[in-house]
Amino acid sequence: MKKTKEEFSISDLVAIFVPKVWIIVIAALVLSLALGVYSAFIKTDTYSSTATMMVSKNGTSLSSGDIDVATEMVKRCQVVIFRNNFLNKVLAEIKNNPLYEEKGWDIDTDYLKSVITLEQCGDTEAFEITATTPDAELSIAIADALAMHIMVTLPESMSYPKDLISSKMIDPPVQAVSPNSNHALRNALIGFVIGAVVAMVAIFICSLFDVTIRDRKKLEDNFDIPVLGVIPRYVSEEGNK
């Protein structure tokens, strides 16, 4: 019976992929090796410094209702901290650092936006602000300046309720002594999977456009006509077909 082009059985898929499994393996290994080598030897090392901050109530502990408000404030912090008017204050503080001229740092607010991340600590009033750069000293300089201005100027930059008037640092940033992991093995595994999937998709698409009839089954699947016989392939002793 004639098959429609949309019908594919397991045996059809096996017939498509098994003869070209070597292509799938090679594509997977090439991309895996490329990502692994890039991650291990080419990718620039980075260093992170993280400060843990908390929205606090002046002089007393937070009630459950206050925590709901505080967690909402953390979300609003994510907007305020990445505004240019706030980052300009942070940038000015970094430029006052003696290392700024000594190390030849040349950064602006766009650079700060690209190296800063803010993550809330679960559903709490605490959050972590992290600076990640190729220079360990620059990372901690940015993290220090951020933490200070979050404590000093952030309350002025947003409308806090009267009883949530301050933010404080509960864990100061420290200078990284070793670079962040480049995750070479993880990236190599990801590359292997992506390479295999891309190769399989390419092979499958090519098979959809391949109209060559190579066996009796494909002829019967595509044409509703009886097959009277098949002429076998013959190879002589001399190797000529």
What percent of the chain shows pLDDT beyond 90? 34
CB of 32 within 8 A of CB of 189?
A: yes
Within the chain, residue ranges assigned H as helices are: 10-17, 21-37, 64-81, 84-95, 98-103, 109-115, 136-152, 154-157, 184-208, 216-222
Q: Is residue 60 in a domain?
A: yes
User: What is the predicted pLDDT for the residue at 157?
Assistant: 59
Binned at pLDDT 50, 70 and 90, residue 237 comes out as low
In a domain, 3, yes or no: no
How many domains does the chain contain in total? 2
| Among 109, 125, 117, 123, residue whose Cα is nearest residue 78 | 117
- CATH code of the domain in which 133 resides: 3.30.1890
State the pLDDT at residue 88: 92
Q: Are residues 25 and 104 in the same domain?
A: no
Single pTM value for the model: 0.68
The verdict on residue 143 lying in a domain is: yes
- Structural domain contains residue 219: no
Q: Are residues 37 and 55 in the same domain?
A: no
Does one domain contain both 148 and 208? no
Give pLDDT, residue 156: 64
Give CA–CA dist 117/130, Å, rounded. Answer: 5
Taking only the tens place, the pLDDT of each residue in 86-140 is 899 899 999 998 999 888 999 999 999 999 998 888 777 788 999 999 999 999 9
Could you tell me if 35 and 119 lie in one domain? no
> Quick one: pLDDT at residue 198?
95
Select the more confidently predicted residue: 81 or 62: 81
Q: What is the reported pLDDT for 112?
A: 93
Instruction: State the DSSP string of 89-108.
Output: HHHHHHHTSHHHHHHT----
Question: 37 and 147, same structural domain?
Answer: no
Do 37 and 57 lie in one domain? The reply is: no
Is 117:69 a contact under the CB 8 Å cutoff?
A: no
Q: Would residue 4 count as lying in a domain?
A: no
- 135 φ, ψ to 5°? -120, 120
Whether 236 maps to a domain, the answer reads no
- Tell whether the model's pLDDT for residue 9 goes beyond 80: no
- The strand order across the sheet containing 116-120 reads 116-120, 126-133, 47-56, 166-171
Print the domain residue range for 128. 47-171
Q: Is residue 25 part of a domain?
A: yes
Q: Are residues 31 and 144 in the same domain?
A: no
Please tell me whether residues 23 and 51 are part of one structural domain: no
pLDDT single digits (tens) 15-71: 888 889 999 999 999 999 999 999 888 888 899 999 998 776 665 555 656 666 666
